[in-house]
Amino acid sequence: MATLATCYNTRRVSSKTTTWDGFPEAFRTARASGAVAPAVVKKTAGAASGQRAMLSGVTAIHRIFSWGMLSVTGFYVVLFTTQFLHSPAWDKTWWVVQVRSLGDPLVVQLFILIKSQWPSFRFGGYLPLVVAGAVSIVRLGVGAVVIPLIGGLRKRVAELELHPAAKAPAVRDEESKRVDSEQGRDELMKRYREIESALRETERKRCTFLSIDVVASTKMKENERELPVTITFQAYMKMLEDIFEKHSAWKQSWTPDGVMVCFLDVDAAVAAGQEVLRQLRVFNRTENLLRSRISVRCGVNEGEVPIFEDSKLEKIAHRAIDVTGHMQKCARPDTLWLSSEVHQKLSDPSGFKPAGKQVDGYHAYEWSPSLALSEMPPAYVAAPKQASLSTETTWA
């Protein structure tokens, strides 16, 4: 109780908000253990119930009023049209007789009132339309006031229903009984362990992630016309999409200037990143319409991730994905960095060299097109012909 009193006093002094998130950690912990005063819970639940009742009542009244006014509007529009039914057969039909008997008295009284104030008035035949228009204006005016009120009530009800103290009384009572005894606590802990075990046994896939991001993309677009920027980056994205499709990418998540790609094979992910760096050289010469060349950083990492066929990559939160992004951010422009674990699993690790850095505890390895070319075996080169010597060949 002393803890609760201290927390309450701290709450009164330090904050004006009334949400549970604003309470100090000790107060939230106390509430979770069932120590919050029942009056607070009862007050919140009562407020939610009252707001729901008010919302239901206001909504029902507004609907009845709106439909009623709409019916009156339609009625007087129909009354106006009956003036043009000159056939005796139509005049004697039941619905025409009923419409005129109900609507004519009001129209006649309105006509007499207007005539008394404006003797030259001669447009009595249009009075049903005037009545219909007036009713519509009233309906719209009331709606303009009531509809925002209903929206505010709905928002308030939603906030109260999400409030931790707004649970149904039976649920709250059951929970309080559970945690008020040692047996109840043991029962809750058992359920927690069962849920935790079920989550651990969730099917996981070993995935390899490739992160690619354009270096200094904002600066590249400065002082450039919009059309060349749009054309160049659309062509760049199309190039990447073709490469990912070629290497059987499973999932992709795009940002304006970057992408995170999921592969089910380590070699495919690394090969896709390498091909992006290779093709980017050609792209900058042939399709880049900007004054500066496009340069990218690539990062690769892998791990077992709880991911499914219908999972969206941008919704997955996992350390393997975080490390991939960090590898990409630490990489030098136009290079691909990957962790030592991924490097060990490559079927062909040639062309990589230690980056000399650790990223999130992993030793990083670096690959670049220029580094790969420098490690290729020496090419066979023909020596120039000389007049006094026969043709010879050497290895450059």
Dihedrals phi, psi of 297, to nearest 5 degrees? -120, 145
- The pLDDT score that the predictor gives to residue 24 is 44
Domain boundary among 130, 158, 186: 158
Whether residue 219 sits in one domain with residue 125:
no
Q: Specify the number of domains making up the chain.
A: 2
Containing 131, the helix (H) or strand (E) segment is: helix 127-162
Residue 353 binned pLDDT confidence (cut-offs 50, 70, 90) = very high
Whether residue 146 sits in one domain with residue 61:
yes
Q: 199 lies in a domain? A: no
Whether residue 119 sits in one domain with residue 63:
yes
Mean pLDDT of 341-368: 92
Residue 112 binned pLDDT confidence (cut-offs 50, 70, 90) = confident
* Pairing mode, strands 335-339 and 296-305: parallel
Q: 118 lies in a domain? A: yes
Query: What residues make up the domain containing 285?
Result: 205-374
Whether residue 230 sits in one domain with residue 105:
no
Q: How far apart are CA 39 and CA 4, in angstroms?
A: 14
Whether residue 215 sits in one domain with residue 335:
yes
Whether residue 370 sits in one domain with residue 227:
yes
Q: 40 lies in a domain? A: no
pLDDT in tens, 278-300: 999 999 999 999 999 999 999 99
Residue 128 binned pLDDT confidence (cut-offs 50, 70, 90) = confident
Whether residue 357 sits in one domain with residue 217:
yes
- The pLDDT score that the predictor gives to residue 271 is 96
Q: 293 lies in a domain? A: yes
pLDDT in tens, 10-35: 444 443 334 444 444 444 444 444 44
For residue 227, the domain's CATH number is 3.30.70.1230
Whether residue 244 sits in one domain with residue 133:
no
Task: Burial-class residue 14 by CB neighbours within 10 Å (0-12, 13-18, 19+).
Answer: exposed
* Pairing mode, strands 362-367 and 380-382: unpaired
Q: 107 lies in a domain? A: yes
Whether residue 82 sits in one domain with residue 209:
no
Q: What is the mean pLDDT of the chain?
A: 76
Whether residue 305 sits in one domain with residue 232:
yes
Whether residue 222 sits in one domain with residue 142:
no
pLDDT in tens, 133-187: 888 898 888 888 888 888 888 887 777 666 555 555 555 555 555 556 677 777 7
| Nearest partner of 131 among 113, 143, 146, judged by Cα | 113
Q: 182 lies in a domain? A: no
pLDDT in tens, 39-74: 555 556 666 677 778 888 888 898 898 888 888 888
The Cα-based distances of 46 to 53, 109, 169, 171 in angstroms read 11, 51, 10, 15
- The pLDDT score that the predictor gives to residue 108 is 76
Mean pLDDT of 202-209: 80
Q: 101 lies in a domain? A: yes
The lowest-confidence range among 90-94, 290-294, 360-364 is: 90-94
Is 256's pLDDT higher than 90?
Answer: no
Q: Which two tokens stand for residue 270?
A: 């690394």
pTM across the whole model: 0.47
